[in-house]
Amino acid sequence: MSLILDKINYYYGKGTSFETKALKNISLTIPDGEFIGLIGHTGSGKSTLIQHMNGLIKADEGSIYFNGRDIYDKDFKMTELRRKVGLVFQYPEHQLFEATVIKDVLFGPSNMGFTKLEAEVAAYGALKSVGISDDLIDASPFELSGGQKRRVAIAGVLACSPEILILDEPTAGLDPAGRTEILRLLKNIHEEKGITVILVSHSMEDVAEYAERLIVIDDGEIKFDDEPRVVFSHAEDLRKMGLEIPQCTELMGRLADLGLNVDRNCLTVDEAVKSIMGTVL
Amino acid sequence: MLRDLTIGQYYPAESVIHRLDPRTKFLGTIIFIVALFLFKTFWGFLLAGSFVICVIALAKLPPKYILKGMRPILFLLLFMMIFNLLLTPGEVIGEWWIFSVTKEGIYAALFMGLRLIMLVMGSSIMTYTTTPNKLTSGMESVFGFLKVFKVPVHELAMMVSIALRFIPILLEETNKIMKAQQARGADFETGGPIKRAKALIPILVPLFVSSFRRAGELAEAMEARCYHGGEGRTKMKPLKYGRRDLVAYLVLIGLVVGCFFIP
């Protein structure tokens, strides 16, 4: 069970004078159960790439295999792929349209051919796992707060029971508390349900703490695909792509440069504190 | 699919026509359209046709782009030409079932077709070579005299320019919402007309909501910059006639004079 992208090329405005190559020879394997961070500057092609993964954009060259089957085959069912690869777009709350929260979350599973009961169970479960309390499920989605709306929208995709959940900048425009809340929630979903999560972001801080694997994309090409620690050791290269390493990794690096005996590969504040205390005490 | 709207879109280029004052282009287009309906003979159409071709060449517009913009009126054009061809009474030259083709019918269809083509071409040259902002400020100035009759000219011009500004944004938004709903299994392509109409609800509701949100944000931003309508408002780039506008007006006068001298 996996998603394999094999030498994907995609052009914008193909056949016109504006033609540009948006994705260049992308090859990726996404096995089951990983928590992946996909990082790239604005316009690097990350949103284009994830839309290939559920078939919303068709690659100009190359193939994509989902669980061993070519998704560009004539008899391959796109609805099946869309169900199993859930895609949450940027500002997903802008897609809410129904009169009540529960109805909106039901939209996905009903389209995907769930029976009424299955759909209701899935929708209710999804709302639970994003932390929407029972008294809100019959409220209008337009009455909720920004963070709640976003969680409802995520539930709308989660209710389709995907095997892979892709989120495009899920924390954009949220305050720090809302950000942490969304990221924790994703971690929980990942751990409890064993869903593969692909978190798309331009912020290293967001992904450093949660992702097991980091894919860095720049100008339509994959530049790094490795463990976060390894990726962050290339701070100079990342800076050239307009990306910053997490602040505490940066700080620890500078302390180490000053001659302190600390671990320069710390990713989170907790790790940094531990390393500094270990040296000082 | 929503990107193929070329009619009326600005085509950036460096040309005399692009640099003309928007008022000149606006009034010129009106004069040209009036002139089109004054011509009755082949020679008149030749004059108008060569005028259009010259302007297109001067504006450095690719002919392909112009032709693409004509596609939406193709059906109307055929419809009008066929009706003119078959329903004009006169000297019969061919008959088939209940229809008869007359000599006058052929002329009427031909002239009607040419007139419509040149009418659309003429007015699209204006929108191809003028940015929406310049166009509305030109219209505001041309219709300025209506202020005497308490017509809110500035406000209307502002509304038009905001509406034009928002077209690409809303198209992009529509695309995004469609994709987001497709990711949740929405299907816009199959089913009968009722099912398809129903499938639009998940697009239209979010689109309306976001339009209102954007409108509110824009209004707030305008108020924050003390916008209060047209009263006493000056322009950063006031419209100014140049020598090329004089030349353009002379050419247009030549065209109108031509109408009366051509038999």
Q: What share of chain A is helix, strand, coil (3-state, %, to 5)?
A: 45, 20, 35
Residues B188 and B167 in one domain: yes
Residues B123 and B137 in one domain: no
The pLDDT of residue B263: 61
Q: Which domain holds residue B33?
A: 1-130+240-263
- Assign domain A2-245 to its CATH architecture: 3-Layer(aba) Sandwich (3.40)
Give start and end residues of each alpha helix (H) in chain B: 16-19, 22-38, 42-58, 63-70, 74-87, 103-129, 132-142, 153-183, 193-199, 201-224, 243-261
Mean pLDDT of A110-135: 93
Residues B34 and B86 in one domain: yes
Judged by a CB distance cut-off of 8 A, whether residue B187 touches chain A is yes
Rounded to an integer, what distance in angstroms lies between the CA atom of residue A226 and that of residue A212? 9
Write out chain A residues lying below 8 Å of B205, CB-based: 97
**Is residue A196 pLDDT above 70, yes or no?**
yes
Mutation target for B interface from A83, A96, A97: give the one with most B CBs within 10 A.
Answer: A97
- Give average pLDDT by consecutive 10-residue segment, chain B, 263 residues: 53 86 91 85 85 90 84 87 82 74 84 89 88 85 87 88 84 91 87 85 93 94 89 81 89 84 70
Rounded to an integer, what distance in angstroms lies between the CA atom of residue B246 and that of residue B188? 53
The pLDDT of residue B8: 56
Smallest Cβ distance to A160: which of B173, B180, B184?
B184
Judged by a CB distance cut-off of 8 A, whether residue B15 touches chain A is no
The pLDDT of residue A279: 82
Residues B92 and B80 in one domain: yes
Nearest C-alpha in A relative to B202: A97
Flag if B183 and A157 touch (Cβ within 8 Å).
Answer: yes
Beta strands, E only, A103-202: 164-168, 196-201
Residues B207 and B138 in one domain: yes
Nearest C-alpha in B relative to A53: B183
The pLDDT of residue B1: 38
Nearest C-alpha in B relative to A158: B184
Chain centroid to Cα B9, Å, comes to 8
Flag if B202 and A97 touch (Cβ within 8 Å).
Answer: yes
Mutation target for A interface from B184, B205, B212: give the one with most A CBs within 10 A.
Answer: B184
Residues B125 and B4 in one domain: yes
The pLDDT of residue B4: 47
The residue whose two tokens read 């039901």 is: A106
Nearest C-alpha in B relative to A55: B183
**Is residue A153 pLDDT above 90, yes or no?**
yes
Flag if B183 and A96 touch (Cβ within 8 Å).
Answer: no
Judged by a CB distance cut-off of 8 A, whether residue A92 touches chain B is yes
Rounded to an integer, what distance in angstroms lies between the CA atom of residue B73 and that of residue B82? 14
Residues B126 and B150 in one domain: no
The pLDDT of residue A17: 67
Write out chain A residues lying below 8 Å of B187, CB-based: 79, 111
Residues B14 and B41 in one domain: yes
Query: How confident is residue A20, by pLDDT bands cut at 50, 70 and 90?
Result: confident
Mean pLDDT of A194-212: 87
Flag if A97 and B206 touch (Cβ within 8 Å).
Answer: yes
Residues B178 and B248 in one domain: no
Per-residue model confidence as pLDDT tens digits over A80-109: 899 999 999 999 999 999 999 999 999 999
Q: Any idea what DSSP says for residue A90?
A: S
Smallest Cβ distance to A95: which of B181, B185, B201?
B181
Residues B186 and B214 in one domain: yes
Judged by a CB distance cut-off of 8 A, whether residue A105 touches chain B is no
Structurally, chain B folds into a number of domains equal to 2
Smallest Cβ distance to B179: which of A56, A83, A112?
A56
Q: CA of B22 to nearest chain A CA: how many angstroms apart?
A: 28
Please state whether beta strands A221-226 and A213-218 pair in parallel, antiparallel, or not at all (unpaired): antiparallel
The pLDDT of residue B7: 46
Domain regions of chain A by residue span: 2-245
Judged by a CB distance cut-off of 8 A, whether residue B201 touches chain A is yes
Per-residue model confidence as pLDDT tens digits over A48-61: 999 999 899 999 99
Per-residue model confidence as pLDDT tens digits over A25-36: 999 999 999 999
Residues B187 and B251 in one domain: no
Q: CA of A244 to nearest chain B CA: how many angstroms apart?
A: 28
Chain centroid to Cα A221, Å, comes to 18
Residues B126 and B27 in one domain: yes
Smallest Cβ distance to B176: which of A82, A89, A96?
A89
The residue whose two tokens read 């990342």 is: A238
**Ranges A117-131, A150-164, B6-20, B201-215: which has the least confidence:** B6-20
